[in-house]
Copies of this chain bind each other. A is one copy, B any other.
Amino acid sequence: MSAKVWLIGAGPGAADLITVRGMRLLQEADCVLYDALVQPEMLTYCPQAELIDVGKRCDLASTQQAFINKMLVDAARKHSRVVRLKGGDPLLFGRAQEELRALDVAGIAYEIVPGITAALAASADAGVSLTSRGLARNVLFATARVGHGEDPSDWVRPVLAADTSVLYMGVKQAAEVAAALLAGGMRADTPLLIVENASLPSKREWPLTLAELPQAASWQLQGPAILLIGEVYRAKLALAATPQAKLA
């Protein structure tokens, strides 16, 4: 049997923010392995397929990744059209390289279909361009790593060098993230924007300053949130009430 695997980016959450190609491949799939970040509505495109919830989360242990790799290879040995559906884009914070290596080793053909990454969806929701003439000529996508054994300079230095930065995850550790950025020399009045559940009806946003960021650690966010940083968010900050008022 000549099986093929399509590694598809589901996008930020809304079912109609997958690509047309991604939707069509879901409609033709025999088997779909999907992430914890994939919304249930997305799976209505593939009622014919065997669905496998691999429940992947960002703080995944490597043993769990090895198990996903094995399930993916097993599915490709059993079915001819297998979709591996991942939240966002597969090649940006998606651990795709490990799954692709497993497919290579098993001699299984694959193709990658890009997806809308959360930063682009959050920006569309907020109506603020990541780059802006005279204000921001480049943008960094990073994950904030705080805690035991982590060297914050790994991510703080590139964040400080970039005009706009987007931190995937990290809002739950807002106090540590703020401390690391302040220690690195970022100004306390730097404008930030937190966007939760980008692209979904439950989406929410809070403009705030770096000095106010530690407060966000106590907010009870329900879904995935990203932190956008840079001068392009200053206009939104000026319009906003206090972050606490906006949360209420």
Instruction: Using CB atoms and an 8 Å cutoff, list the residues of chain A in contact with chain B.
Output: 9, 11-12, 14-21, 23-24, 89-98, 100, 112-117, 120-121, 123-125, 127-133, 137-143, 145, 154-155, 157-158, 160-163, 232
Give the contacting residue for A140; candidates B18, B121, B138; CB below 8 A: B138
Interface contact B143-A162, CB-CB below 8 Å: no
Q: Could you say which of A14, A95, A161, A232 has the most chain B C-beta atoms within 10 Å of its C-beta?
A: A161
Interface contact A127-B100, CB-CB below 8 Å: yes
In the bound complex, how far is the Cα of B152 from the Cα of A215, in angstroms?
38
Task: Given the known inter-chain contacts A16-B20, A114-B124, please indicate yes or no for A139 contacting B138, CB distance below 8 A.
Answer: no
Interface contact A133-B17, CB-CB below 8 Å: no
Give the contacting residue for A91; candidates B16, B129, B138, B140; CB below 8 A: B129
Tell me which residues across on chain B come within 8 A of A130, comparing CB atoms: 91-92
In the bound complex, how far is the Cα of B20 from the Cα of A180, in angstroms?
40
In the complex, 20 of the A-B residue pairs with CB atoms within 8 angstroms, ordered by the A residue number, are A9-B120, A12-B114, A14-B21, A16-B19, A16-B20, A16-B21, A17-B19, A19-B19, A91-B123, A91-B124, A91-B129, A96-B129, A114-B121, A115-B116, A116-B116, A137-B142, A140-B140, A140-B158, A158-B163, A161-B162
Interface contact B154-A158, CB-CB below 8 Å: no
In the bound complex, how far is the Cα of B121 from the Cα of A157, in angstroms?
27
| Shortest distance between the CB of A31 and any CB in chain B (Å) | 21
In the bound complex, how far is the Cα of B134 from the Cα of A154, in angstroms?
12
Interface contact B158-A138, CB-CB below 8 Å: yes
In the bound complex, how far is the Cα of B7 from the Cα of A127, in angstroms?
10
| Shortest distance between the CB of A101 and any CB in chain B (Å) | 10
Give the contacting residue for A114; candidates B15, B97, B116, B161; CB below 8 A: B116
In the bound complex, how far is the Cα of B15 from the Cα of A23, in angstroms?
13
Interface contact A120-B145, CB-CB below 8 Å: no
Interface contact B112-A124, CB-CB below 8 Å: yes
| Shortest distance between the CB of A182 and any CB in chain B (Å) | 18
Interface contact B124-A113, CB-CB below 8 Å: yes
In the bound complex, how far is the Cα of B15 from the Cα of A145, in angstroms?
38
Interface contact A98-B133, CB-CB below 8 Å: yes
Tell me which residues across on chain B come within 8 A of A143, comparing CB atoms: 137-138
Name the residue on B nearest A18 (C-beta): B20
In the bound complex, how far is the Cα of B114 from the Cα of A103, in angstroms?
30
Tell me which residues across on chain B come within 8 A of A91, comparing CB atoms: 120, 123-124, 128-131
